[in-house]
Amino acid sequence: MARDYYGILGVDNGAGPDEIKRAYRRLARELHPDVNPDPAAQERFREVSTAYEVLTDPEKRRIVDLGGDPLDNGRGGGAGGADPFSAFGFGDIMDAFFGGTGGGRGRGPRSRVQPGADALIRMQLTLEECATGVQRELAVDTAVICSECTGSGCAPGSSPTMCDICGGRGEVQSVQRSFLGQVVTSRPCPTCRGFGEIIPEPCRQCAGDGRVRSRRTVGVRIPAGVADGMRVRLAGQGEVGSGGGPAGDLYVEVEEIPHEVFTRDGADLHCTVSLPMTAAALGTTLPLPTLNGTEELHVEPGTQAGTVRTLRGKGMPRLRSTGRVDGQGDLMVHVDVTVPTNLTKDQTELLRQLAALRGEEQPDLGAGGRNGHGLFSRLRDSFGGR
Annotated binding site for Zn(2+): 146, 149, 163, 166, 189, 192, 203, 206
Alpha-carbon gap, residue 78 to 274, rounded angstroms: 89
Strands of the chain (E only): list them. Answer: 119-125, 134-145, 161-162, 171-178, 181-188, 197-198, 211-222, 231-234, 250-256, 263-265, 268-276, 284-290, 293-299, 308-311, 317-319, 325-328, 331-338
Question: Could you tell me if 271 and 262 are in contact, meaning their C-beta atoms sit under 8 angstroms apart?
Answer: yes
Reduced to 3 states (helix: H, G, I; strand: E, B; else coil), residue 31 is: helix
Alpha-carbon gap, residue 191 to 78, rounded angstroms: 32
Find how far residue 43's CA is from the centre of its chain: 46
Torsion angle of C-alpha atoms 50, 54, 57, 62, degrees rounded to 10: 180
Alpha-carbon gap, residue 179 to 148, rounded angstroms: 55
- Residue list, annotated binding site: 146, 149, 163, 166, 189, 192, 203, 206
Alpha-carbon gap, residue 154 to 112, rounded angstroms: 12
> For 233-240, which contacts have Cβ atoms below 8 Å and span 24 or more sequence positions?
237/119, 237/140, 237/142, 238/116, 238/117, 238/118, 238/119, 238/142, 239/116, 239/117, 239/118, 239/119, 239/142, 239/143, 240/116, 240/142, 240/143, 240/144, 240/145, 240/151, 240/211
Amino acid at 132: T
Residue 366 sits at φ, ψ, to 5 deg, of -95, -130
Question: Could you tell me if 328 and 281 are in contact, meaning their C-beta atoms sit under 8 angstroms apart?
Answer: no
CB atoms within 10 A of CB 263: 13
Q: How far is CA 195 from CA 16, 56, 157, 191, in A?
A: 15, 15, 21, 9
